[in-house]
Amino acid sequence: MPSKLAENILIENLLSLNAVAFLTDEPLRLKSGLVTPIYVDNRKLITHPDAWHDIIETMASLIDKWGLEYDVIAGVEAGGLTHSAALAYRLNVPTIYVRQRAKTYGDLDRIEGGSVKGKKVLIIEDHISTGLSCLDAIKTLREEGAIVTDCVSITNFDMTETGELFAEAGVKAYRMIEFKRIVEKALEMKLINEEQKTTIMEWLKTPWTWAARRGLIATTREN
């Protein structure tokens, strides 16, 4: 993990830029169907170069600290794409990205940037919730001959079910920032109160049953 000082700076940036927002009064339904009081959009970092630079530099340092091996950096369309490209530029290594769907023209491929056959590919995501889009990208890369064993994200809800899916796929998921630290910092910054913190922490423990137990219905849907 980053140093305490570095972590605080990263978290404050995420919260100040509204890359992480709390919707305890108006929960959101994600594309997966999961109802959540937390919305994460780390794509907002790319319009704030100082904050984005901090993320990319810290990610590069952590990848070295964790001893991850790779020939290619890969992003997943769309959230992980900009971060993976910036990281690859910083590390001076090749980068590719995986489309959500295959092209309807040309080579009809889902992988953009070149062949990954026989290469060790490190996946970069902006955020992991259910992890389904990331795991789908990993499946596509492996079908094209890539070796994929690791994934790095800025944030991760650390859902038990998601962890089990990554373990079954033989992939270790690393994250830069523990989500409960973001919640604690939000309370410290007075962005949420104690009651909201309790609600959010309950969701992080039991995300799939949280809404039903509270009789809540999502008022908005992720697009």
Percent of the chain with pLDDT over 70: 91
Of 86, 103, 105, 108, which Cα lies nearest the Cα of 95? 86
Is pLDDT at 15 greater than 50 in this prediction? yes
Is pLDDT at 223 greater than 50 in this prediction? no
Residue 214 resides in a domain = no
Report d(CA 205, CA 85) in Å as an integer. Answer: 33
Tell me the mean pLDDT in the region 81-90. Answer: 96
Domain containing 129 equals 4-200
Q: How confident is the model at residue 31 (pLDDT cuts 50, 70, 90)?
A: confident
Residue 213 resides in a domain = no
Residue 142 resides in a domain = yes
Q: How confident is the model at residue 40 (pLDDT cuts 50, 70, 90)?
A: very high
Report d(CA 220, CA 223) in Å as an integer. Answer: 9
Supply the pTM of this predicted model: 0.89
Binding residues for 5-phospho-alpha-D-ribose 1-diphosphate: 31, 99, 103, 125-133
pLDDT in tens, 160-216: 999 999 999 999 999 999 999 999 999 999 999 999 999 999 999 989 888 777 766
* Number of domains into which the chain is organized: 1
Residues 6+ positions from 202 with CB-CB distance below 8 Å: 210
Residue 222 resides in a domain = no
Task: Please report, for the domain that includes residue 122, its CATH number.
Answer: 3.40.50.2020
Binding residues for orotate: 129
Binding residues: 31, 99, 103, 125-133
Report d(CA 80, CA 124) in Å as an integer. Answer: 6
Burial class for 101, CB neighbours closer than 10 Å (0-12, 13-18, 19+): exposed
Inter-residue contact 176 to 62 (CB < 8 Å)? yes
Other Cβ atoms closer than 10 A to 221: 11
Is pLDDT at 66 greater than 70 in this prediction? yes
Inter-residue contact 156 to 179 (CB < 8 Å)? yes
Tell me the mean pLDDT in the region 152-167. Answer: 94
Residue 36 resides in a domain = yes
Q: What is the pLDDT of residue 33?
A: 83
Mean pLDDT in the chain? 90
Structure-token pair, residue 176: 């830069």
pLDDT in tens, 99-147: 876 655 655 578 888 899 999 999 999 999 999 999 999 999 999 999 9
Is pLDDT at 217 greater than 70 in this prediction? no
Asked if residue 78 has a cis previous peptide bond (ω within 30° of 0), the answer is yes
Residue 211 resides in a domain = no
Residue 146 resides in a domain = yes
Residue 158 resides in a domain = yes
Please give the helix or strand (H or E) that residue 185 lies within, else none.
helix 179-188
Is pLDDT at 220 greater than 60 in this prediction? no
